[in-house]
Amino acid sequence: MSQRSLPQIDPNISQHGVRTHCPYCAYQCGTLLDVQPNDIRLSGDPSFPVNNGRLCVKGLTAGELIRHPYRILNPLMRSRGGELQETTWDAALDRIAAEFWKVRRAYGSAALGAFGSGALTNEKAYMLGKFARLALRTPHVDYNGRYCMSSAAGASNRAFGMDRGMPFPVSTIGEAHTILLVGSNPFDTLPPITQWFEQSRDRDGRLIVSDVRRTLTARSANLFIQPTVGSDLALANGMLFVAIEEKLVDIEFLRERTNGWEAVRSIALRYDPVTVERMTGVPEQSIRRVVRMLAEPGISLILTGRGPEQHSKGVDTVHSWINLSLALGLFRRGGYGTLTGQGNGQGGREHGQKADQLPGYRLIENPSAREHIAKIWGVAADELPGRGRSAYELLNSLGQPDGIRALMVLGSNVAVASPNLNNVIRRLKSLDFLCVIDAFHNETTELADVILPTTQWAEEDGTLTNLEGRVIRRRQASQAPPNVRSDLWIFAELAKRLEASGRFDYPTTEAIFDELRRATAGGIADYAGMTYQRIEQDNGVFWPCPSEDHPGTPYPFAERFAHADGKAKLFPVEHRLSGDEPDSDYPIYFTTGRYQEHYNSGAQTRKVRRLMDQQSLPRLQIHPDLAREYRVTHGSSVEVESRRATATFQAEITDSIRPDTLFAPFHWGGAQAANLLVGDALDPTSRMPEFKIAAVRFKPTHQPLEEAACKS
């Protein structure tokens, strides 16, 4: 056969399926997805250079979601009797619009609200921000990223003038000589990342893990330290003391590339390692060893996860680790990064679904940012609302005087994932009207008046931005069920009914991306030079990418930081107490996190049989000493009580946790929701809740635990 007669081959479709990405976490593994009438095959994409063919058990089993029997297939509306009943799209959309108009007439547009997600593609996040500002005409749009990486984002913006979670590709881990993971458990939460840690180890690299639990990740570490919950800031300051005392500070780097060293230095000198040992429980010798290892020649990385970030002092805590990385001059070859969590955790925070933000990481209160976006949207700048409430504050305002009366939620199971959960559920119930857009039922749809069924990842096109800042393509591999619609179509239909038609109709998802490119042009997160074609050809493009001939930016801080003078800011930070510290009534620390087999609120993974077979219940990790004292036996039911509520878990007695701390996953709802126990203190800058610390007491209970799979 001659060369010319070969059929046109799309390099994104092979005999193994369509090249797309996993529906879950920020690692965004490349997958090959082949959906046939009687068979769904999903495998790792060996040509995507981030996972190189590997997948974790969640990604491997994600195909089960596509034709899942519990999929929502038609719009649902609650009848007068309170039952959810199937209805037509027109009836459902008309009802939502009517309820929104009713609230708008009675209370004004600021009584409408929207809650989005880091699971949404860039195109959806962009459209949600636009929809909230131009169709709902409310300032109150925020999203679950506020629960996720907002503290790391806050500190990175302050320190570097830019929040690019990892300012280097993930492969840098493979080249590193020393890696310090602070409250991050990526062997469970981003499993294919282990290949880069293995590569580092094969080159004699060393891994240091700081976690309150000896996690799967910690078991691979050369050095494991186990600080008290909430003491990370004191620990970082103590390490800075050691760096100063042992003359390991890179003065030349500080002089050339940073501001603010003197103020930070004088605070660090109050954190001598003997005091810090008392504050954190980490032995002085270990503190010294960590600093010496980080200061050795070669690439050193300090990476944080949610452990130090999800606190009411999260921003300052992250800044303390950035201070240490700057003082050691790590940015010459490595530096600081945060391991972002949700599928589009990075892109989701750039395109305007955040209460204080417009696309391109622009601030909504900045007049020139408003002008730029208003022009692209074809409105006057003063038509754009101002800054709205942050996620928890938004939810806490529901049904309150001056609060939100009608809410739209997409991409978040707020009735499981939010802190002070009983309060949030009460507030959701006090709404005049709640509408949820989802592919599946979850604890939040249970409270909704209208539920709209949406397409899911395999049925969509779009882009996401992974944890490295690499923009990638999600490709459609499967037909959606006949009566299911995309979030983007829903925005357009609702806009028509809210007298905002014409601004939400696009022929393709790519056309939305093209508008997003123009909206981000000149902003911090500049996507102007990216096209779908480039993204596909190059296995993703790193932002900022201001023009089509720009190669993209894998290392944004290689030469300069993003502040106007090109320098990074060190910032003096002090240890402080949490909103909910133990006392004689509630003497024990409680913290939360993740299982490898479940994802976030569990709305998706609790429906996957293979995952439920492996992890069917939330277990409370208890140290043997504590278990003995409280007469709790392995496998029995335990009731945990905080100042707010009680929750029930199954006891797992293990010496991998500190004796003063209990741990439970937050993947379950109802009486097994860890967030019943968590309080509502927020970080003053990021408005991040304290998911990683609460004061509790506990006791054995005879209440049996039911397997809490999502049954519908």
29 binds, among ligand SF4, ligand MGD, Mo ion, none (CB under 5 to 8 A by kind): ligand SF4
Q: Position of tokens 């909704």?
A: 448
Write the binding mask 172 to 191 for ligand SF4: x where contact by CB under 6 A, - elsewhere. Answer: ------------------xx
Only one of the segments 51-59, 181-189, 337-345, 428-436 lies at the binding site for Mo ion (rule: CB under 5 A); that segment is 337-345
Half-sphere exposure of 205 (CA within 13 A, CB side): 24
| Cis peptide bond N-terminal to 7, omega within 30 | no
CA 57, 58, 64 angle in degrees (round to 5)? Answer: 110
DSSP 458-520: GG--EEEE-TTSEEEEE---SPPPTT-B-HHHHHHHHHHHTT-TTSS--SSHHHHHHHHHHHH
Burial class for 368, CB neighbours closer than 10 Å (0-12, 13-18, 19+)? exposed
Q: Which of 570, 157, 544, 166 is nearest to 329 (CA)?
A: 570
Q: What is the DSSP string of 647-694?
A: EEEEEEE-TTB-TTEEEEE----GGG-GGGT----B-TTT--B-TT-E
Exposed e or buried b per residue across 332-352, where buried means at least 16 C-beta atoms within 10 angstroms of its C-beta: ebbbbbbbbbbbbbbbbbbbb
Cβ-based nearer residue to ligand MGD, 148 or 524: 148
- In terms of DSSP bridges, do strands 541-542 and 470-474 run parallel, antiparallel, or are they unpaired? antiparallel
Residue 280 or 342: the one with the smaller Cβ distance to Mo ion is 342
Q: What does the per-residue mask of binding to Mo ion show for 339-378, with x meaning CB under 5 A?
A: --xx------------------------------------
CB of 340 to Mo ion, least distance (A): 8
Distance between first and last Cα of the chain = 54
Comparison of 76 and 674: residue with beta carbon closer to Mo ion: 674
Binding to Mo ion by residue 25, rule CB under 5 A? Answer: no
- Around 257, how many Cα atoms within 13 Å sit in the side-chain half-sphere? 21
What character string, x for contact with ligand SF4 (CB under 6 A) and - otherwise, covers 192-231?
x---------------------------------------
Report what 308 binds from ligand SF4, Mo ion, ligand MGD, none; CB cut-off 5-8 Å by kind: ligand MGD
Do the Cβ atoms of 338 and 151 come closer than 8 Å?
A: no
Task: Report in angstroms how near the CB of residue 56 gets to Mo ion at its nearest.
Answer: 16
Region 434-473 residues binding ligand SF4, contact defined as CB under 6 A: none
Which among ligand SF4, Mo ion, ligand MGD, none contacts residue 87 (Cβ within 5 to 8 A by kind)?
A: none
Contact call for residues 89 and 384 (beta carbons, < 8 A): no
Judged by beta carbon, residue 394 or residue 562, the one nearer ligand MGD is 394
Contact flag: residue 148 with Mo ion (CB under 5 A)? yes
Residue 28 partner contact from Mo ion, ligand MGD, ligand SF4, none using kind-dependent CB cut-offs of 5 to 8 Å: ligand SF4
Distance, CA of 180 to CA of 294 (rounded, Å): 8
Q: How far is the CB of 119 from ligand MGD (least distance, A)?
A: 4
Q: Which of residues 59-88 bind ligand SF4 (CB under 6 A)?
A: 59
**Other C-beta atoms within 10 Å of 585: how many?**
10
Q: Which stretch binds Mo ion (CB under 5 A): 147-155, 315-323, 357-365, 647-655?
A: 147-155
Look-up: residue for tokens 């921000």? Answer: 129
Q: Do residues 25 and 342 lie in contact, with contact meaning Cβ atoms separated by under 8 Å?
A: yes
CB of 251 to Mo ion, least distance (A): 37
Instruction: State in angstroms the smallest separation of the CB of 67 from ligand MGD.
Output: 15
CB-side neighbour CA atoms (13 Å) of 519? 29
Query: Which sign does the torsion angle of CA 33, 35, 36, 42 carry?
Result: positive
CB nearer to ligand SF4: give 464 or 693: 464
Q: Which two tokens stand for residue 577?
A: 């107490």
- For residues 169 and 227, which CB has a smaller minimum distance to ligand MGD in the complex? 227
Comparing CA positions, the residue from 611, 619, 595 lying closest to residue 709 is: 611
Number of residues that bind ligand SF4 (CB under 6 A): 14
CB-closest chain residue to ligand SF4: 59
Per CB under 6 A, residues contacting ligand MGD are 25, 58, 117-120, 144, 147-148, 182-186, 188-190, 210-213, 215, 227, 229-230, 232, 305-308, 310, 341-342, 410-413, 416-417, 437-440, 442, 454, 487, 591-594, 596, 598-601, 603-604, 663, 666, 674-675, 678, 691-692
Closest approach of Cβ 628 to ligand MGD, in Å? 22
Closer to ligand MGD by Cβ: residue 192 or 329: 192
Residue ranges in 24-63 that form contacts with ligand SF4 under rule CB under 6 A? 24-25, 27-29, 51, 55-56, 58-59
| Residue 130 touches which of ligand SF4, ligand MGD, Mo ion, none (Cβ within 5-8 Å per kind) | none
Pairing of strands 112-116, 141-143: parallel
Q: Which residue lies nearer to ligand SF4 by CB, 54 or 354?
A: 54
Other residues' Cβ atoms within 10 Å of the Cβ of residue 641: 17
Per CB under 6 A, residues contacting ligand SF4 are 22, 24-25, 27-29, 51, 55-56, 58-59, 190-192
